[in-house]
Amino acid sequence: MNQLEQLKKFTTVVADTGDFQSIQAYTPRDATTNPSLILKAVQKDEYKPLLEKAVRDNLDNSIAETIDHLLIAFGKQILRIIPGRVSTEIDARLSFDVEGSVAKGRELIKLYEQAGIERERVLIKMAATWEGIRAAEILEKEGIHCNMTLLFSLGQAIACAEAGAQLISPFVGRIYDWYKKSTGIDYVGAEDPGVQSVRRIYNYYRKFGYKTEVMGASFRNTGQILELAGCDLLTISPDLLQKLADSNAPVERKLSTESVPGAGIIKLSQDEKTFRFQLNEDQMASEKLGEGIRAFCADSGKLKQIISGMR
Per-residue pLDDT reduced to its tens digit, 6-20: 999 999 999 999 999
Mean pLDDT calculated for residue range 24-36: 94
Q: Give the domain extent around 281.
A: 3-310
pLDDT in tens, 66-123: 999 999 999 999 999 999 999 999 999 999 999 999 999 999 999 999 999 999 999 9
Q: Would you say residue 263 has pLDDT above 90? A: no
How many other CB atoms are found less than 10 A from the CB of residue 96? 14
Q: Would you say residue 299 has pLDDT above 90? A: yes
pLDDT in tens, 225-238: 999 999 999 999 99
How many other CB atoms are found less than 10 A from the CB of residue 154? 18
pLDDT in tens, 163-214: 999 999 999 999 999 999 999 999 999 999 999 999 999 999 999 999 999 9
Q: Of the listed 125, 181, 288, 302, which one is catalytic?
A: 125
- Output the pLDDT for position 269: 84
Indicate the pLDDT class of residue 35, thresholds 50, 70 and 90. Answer: confident
- Output the pLDDT for position 184: 98
SS3 31: strand
How many other CB atoms are found less than 10 A from the CB of residue 173? 18
The pTM for the full model equals 0.96
- Output the pLDDT for position 5: 97
- Output the pLDDT for position 101: 98
Task: Let me know if 110 is a catalytic residue.
Answer: no
- Best CA proximity match to 265, nearest among 182, 213, 202: 202
Q: How many domains does the chain have?
A: 1
- Output the pLDDT for position 14: 97
Asked if residue 4 lies in contact with residue 250, where contact means CB atoms within 8 angstroms, the answer is no
Q: Would you say residue 45 has pLDDT above 90? A: yes
Asked if residue 7 lies in contact with residue 228, where contact means CB atoms within 8 angstroms, the answer is no
- Provide, rounded to the nearest whole percent, the portion of the chain with pLDDT above 70: 100
Q: Would you say residue 132 has pLDDT above 90? A: yes
**Integer CA distances (angstroms), 290 to 33, 44, 186, in order:** 19, 29, 24
Q: Would you say residue 142 has pLDDT above 90? A: yes
Asked if residue 265 lies in contact with residue 203, where contact means CB atoms within 8 angstroms, the answer is yes
Q: What is the CATH number of the domain that holds 49?
A: 3.20.20.70
Q: Would you say residue 262 has pLDDT above 90? A: no
Mean pLDDT of the chain: 96
How many other CB atoms are found less than 10 A from the CB of residue 27? 15
